[in-house]
Amino acid sequence: MSTIQGAVAVVTGGQRGLGRAFTQALLDRGAAKVYATARVPAPTDDPRVEAVALDVDDEESVRALAERAADATLVVNNAGVLHPTSLLTGPMSDVVATFETNVFGALRVSRAFAPVLGANGGGALVTLHSLLSWASGSGPYGASKAALWSMTNSIRSELAAQETLVVGVHLGFADTEMVAAMPGEKLAPATVADIVMRGVEAGETEVLVDDVTRHFKAALSGPVEGLALPLG
């Protein structure tokens, strides 16, 4: 079980979309402070929120954040990008950029904050995956989320000795700007954040946010042809 009351949290991409909902959910549960990052952060009127510049693609930017947020006890790896393109025919630059942010960016943050969390008693590291971690047909985004899922599972093993709770979150689409052009039912960001934070408080290592995600997780034991979910 991980306590959010009194926690000092870091939320990457914490000023828009899901990240903004995570920031608010942490505050609603009594977090003492939230470092809410953005590439170009907007000022905030809430004294509990510190807006911080962060580019997860830049090693120095991540290092500077870890130094500034040396009191962190909870980190939410939320920042990500979506380039809805083909792995075989789309621009290779889009594929590389997707992995650079979604995989290596999350890894940079995890590496930088692992010793911080350890020094502060263990705490929790939360990483946003997707049901597309398991679904074919979702191009570089799904491939990056599959890699991120595997990476998170390995990080969990590496951080077990320092008693850091590592939480992997899977969900379908939330109603954010990133997927505004995509059809279909979408979850309210506040609903997602509430479910995730309840999972963190309960000490869960994996949070499956919605029914469609639970369906895809259950289908992993079946044939791979049943896991196709094209992006568009």
Stretch 8-23: mean pLDDT, rounded? 95
Top CATH class, 8-227? alpha beta
Mean per-residue pLDDT over the chain, rounded: 91
CA nearest neighbour of 189 among 99, 112, 76, 84: 76
Q: What is the pLDDT of residue 172?
A: 85
Of 10-19, 133-142, 210-219, give the range with the top mean pLDDT: 10-19
Q: Which residue has the higher pLDDT, 218 or 99?
A: 99
76-106 pLDDT, tens digit each: 999 999 998 999 999 999 999 999 999 999 9
Judge whether residue 5 has pLDDT over 70: yes
- pLDDT beyond 90 at 151: yes
Q: Give φ, ψ of 55 to 5 degrees.
A: -120, 105
Q: What is the mean pLDDT of residues 193-211?
A: 96
What are the pLDDT digits (tens) for 45-85?
999 999 999 999 999 999 999 999 999 999 999 999 999 89
Output the pLDDT for position 31: 98
pLDDT tens digits, residue range 173-194? 765 566 545 556 768 899 999 9
Domain layout of the chain by residue ranges: 8-227
Which pLDDT band, with edges at 50, 70 and 90, does 232 fall under? Answer: very low
CA-CA distances (angstroms) from residue 193 to 33, 96, 121? Answer: 17, 29, 24
Check whether 164 has a pLDDT greater than 50. yes
Q: Where residue 24 falls among pLDDT bands split at 50, 70, 90?
A: very high
Q: Stretch 122-137: mean pLDDT, rounded? A: 92
The band of 224, judged by pLDDT with boundaries at 50, 70 and 90, is low
**How crowded is residue 136: how many other Cβ atoms within 10 Å of its Cβ?**
16
- Confidence grade of residue 38 (pLDDT, cut at 50, 70, 90): very high
Please say whether the beta carbons of 74 and 10 come within 8 A: yes
pTM: 0.92
